[in-house]
Amino acid sequence: MVQTRGLGKRYGSTWAVQGLDLTVRRGEIYGFLGPNGAGKTTTLLMLLGIERPTTGSIEILGHSMPVDPYVVNPRVGVVTEQQHLYDDLSAWDYLMFFARLYEVRQPEHRATELLDRFNLSQFRRLRARDYSRGMQQKLGLARALLHRPELLVLDEPVSGLDPHGIRQVREVLAEERTRGATILLSSHILSEIERTADRVGILLGGRLIAEDDVARIGARLESGPAIDVDVEHLTEDLIAAVRHQPFVLGMDVEAAAPDRGNATLRIRVDGTEDHRRAISALVTENGGLIVQMRQPRVSLEDAFVRLTAENVAELAKSTRAMEDESGPKLKRKDGSAPLAPLDAGREPRIAKPRLGTRSGGRSRLRQRLHAIGTVALHDLVAILLSAGPYVTLALGMVVAVVLLRGQLDALERNQVLVLSDAFSLPLFVATTLAMLFLALGSVATVARDREQGTLETLFYAPIDQAAYLLGKLAALIGTYLAMALAIGVLFAVDAAMTGLRIGGSLLPELLLSLMTAAATIALGLLLSSASRGLRSAFALFTAVALLLLAARFSSEILSGITVANNYSPLLYARDLAIVVDRVLGYVSPFATLESGIDAVVRADLLGYAWALALSTAQCIGLLAAATRWLAHHGVRR
């Protein structure tokens, strides 16, 4: 199911993971252990495609990395230590959003089933961000189980849960294993790992230092099995008789009540067979009375502490980065090699049908369109339920009405008709305000998702960077269409009331404004993708806006200055400002809208076509750059 070979991840000069060979078999629960900073989370992020490995290879569900998210992600469920939830969604809406993204059959039934399973049904309409941490953890597990995945990757799934919640998770894991799911489980609660896992691997310093069955990993640390026997009426003859047995490797005597001959014998035996019956008969024959007999074993917690303590000193000596496959050699205190990972062999590449989802030969385009539509619908509803579009629309309408009244006053004073379309200037101002709102919204959207952590959670689902950004673009364009429609209705009502004629230029101007709005959104998405948070995104947007304004105003001011001396520095400054303004005009959607509307007013068909083509090219180019940036720099906070 999961296999890595020589996997490594380096941050600067520090190796977080190095030379990792990991195999998770189909149908097992694999406990992935390690102290803080061992590289567990980094490894899981590489397995999920969130982080790119520096070295090595990964194979997951029969597919080599990098995998197609539309093929692999529908078969994987992920729970992280901290759940990143959307601020605007209730628990029910949260599950339904991901159910649509995964195309879960009967999503309402499945969501209800999981909410009931985790005792969250009565809180289904409560905003998910208002849940307690334990409830959020349960909700995250419900999201991961929605589509009945073949592989579950769980990083600290019981973090923040009370004992009842921990028991619920334990039962759910058992149910999923019975269903046939494979579970990769990372946790610091070793008692839970010991109860649920089949095999464990222990990571230290980015290296796998031990891997074995849970029942055997402790036994492999002992020189031989031990049997503790509480004996009454202990005699020297009895002790000598036990010591001389061929299967006894050694014995320690701990006297509990020497005056009464009571003691505990710790007998180390070979592991060839069960020697308890022979020891019992031997004690009885020599006059002893066995009170209790037990066979202690090294717990997983003890094994973890011993293994990590033995190897940490050796790892600390390796101060240089790994340059070859061998790396620093780890040894145990007795000089022997560490517990070597078992060779599980390669998993067969058998692709199973997706459980709980619509199977079939849907094309990649259709899968991507579905993801785009799901993201777009979520964002569009969120935008339309906020006050921003309506405040911007009201402001744009007020400005447009004021400008139209100015046109009417000019007609009455001069008693002549204006030569240009009376609605062109109000349309330009209203659409510019709408585009400014869209620019701010697009700048905030990706940066906010990254800052809140919802961006990373989203990319565990079947979606890629292009579909995510196109969904954001579609939602904001939908918002603009609603605003443009309202502005058009306002102009129609105003024309009917005042007698002003709406010329044939209004529709071309609206089409141009739509394309420039799309380019504006794409520019905002690029700036947002390049930012790690809201503050840096708005700072970057402000810097770009100031640059455009400075270029425009400096060009306007300097172009009106007459310079007599051809060698004057002012002349060079003027020419430079004009060139910079023209160059930036090719990438500024606002400048394209201005030149396009001017071309419409002048009936310049070629100029209008150029503006329309330029805004389309701007949108495509900026969106492609945003997609590439997001893919290269990742989706983590």
Please provide the average confidence, as pLDDT, over all residues in the chain: 81
- The CA–CA distances, whole Å, from 233 to 226, 244, 252, 547 equal 22, 19, 17, 95
Task: Tell me, letter by letter, the H, E, C secondary structure of 284-310.
Answer: HHCCCEEEEEECCCCCHHHHHHHHHHH
- Chain centre to alpha carbon of residue 32: 20
- Please name the amino acid found at residue 463: I
Q: Tell me: do 287 and 209 sit in the same domain.
A: no
- The pLDDT value given to residue 320: 40
Q: Tell me: do 538 and 584 sit in the same domain.
A: yes
- The pLDDT value given to residue 248: 85
**314 and 331 in contact (C-beta within 8 Å)?**
yes
pLDDT band with cut points at 50, 70 and 90 for residue 146: very high
More confident residue, 199 or 310: 199
Contacts of 201 (CB under 8 A, 6+ apart): 22, 30, 31, 32, 33, 208, 210, 211, 341
- pTM for this model (two decimals): 0.79
Helix 388-414 × helix 465-498 angle, to 10°:
30
- Please name the amino acid found at residue 522: A
Written as six digits, the tokens of 284 are 């009885």
Q: Please count the other Cβ atoms lying within 10 Å of the Cβ belonging to residue 63.
A: 15
**Average pLDDT over every residue of 274-283:** 85
Query: What pLDDT digit, counting tens, does each position of 84-140 carry?
Result: 888 888 999 999 999 999 999 899 999 999 999 999 999 989 988 888 888 999 999
Contacts of 396 (CB under 8 A, 6+ apart): 429, 430, 431, 433, 434, 483, 487
Q: Tell me: do 21 and 68 sit in the same domain.
A: yes
Which of 294, 319, 351 is at the close of a domain? 294
* CATH assignment of the domain containing 243: 3.30.70.3100
Q: Is residue 38 part of a domain?
A: yes
pLDDT band with cut points at 50, 70 and 90 for residue 317: very low
Cα(73)–Cα(68) distance, integer angstroms: 8
**Average pLDDT over every residue of 158-185:** 89
Which residue reads 């006059």 in tokens? 287
Q: Is residue 256 part of a domain?
A: yes
**383 and 442 in contact (C-beta within 8 Å)?**
no
Which of 166, 198, 218 is at the close of a domain? 218
- The pLDDT value given to residue 636: 81
Which residue reads 């102290």 in tokens? 35
Q: Is residue 54 part of a domain?
A: yes
Predicted confidence (pLDDT) at residue 512 exceeds the cutoff of 70: yes
Q: Is residue 6 part of a domain?
A: yes
| Strand 63-64 relative to strand 55-60, pairing | antiparallel
pLDDT band with cut points at 50, 70 and 90 for residue 306: low
**Average pLDDT over every residue of 44-70:** 89
Q: Is residue 568 part of a domain?
A: yes
Q: Tell me: do 211 and 228 sit in the same domain.
A: no
Task: Tell me, letter by letter, the H, E, C secondary structure of 531-564.
Answer: CCCHHHHHHHHHHHHHHHHHHHHHHHHHHCCCCC
Which of 294, 323, 341 is at the close of a domain? 294
Domain with 59, as residue range(s), is: 2-218
| DSSP letter assigned to residue 375 | H
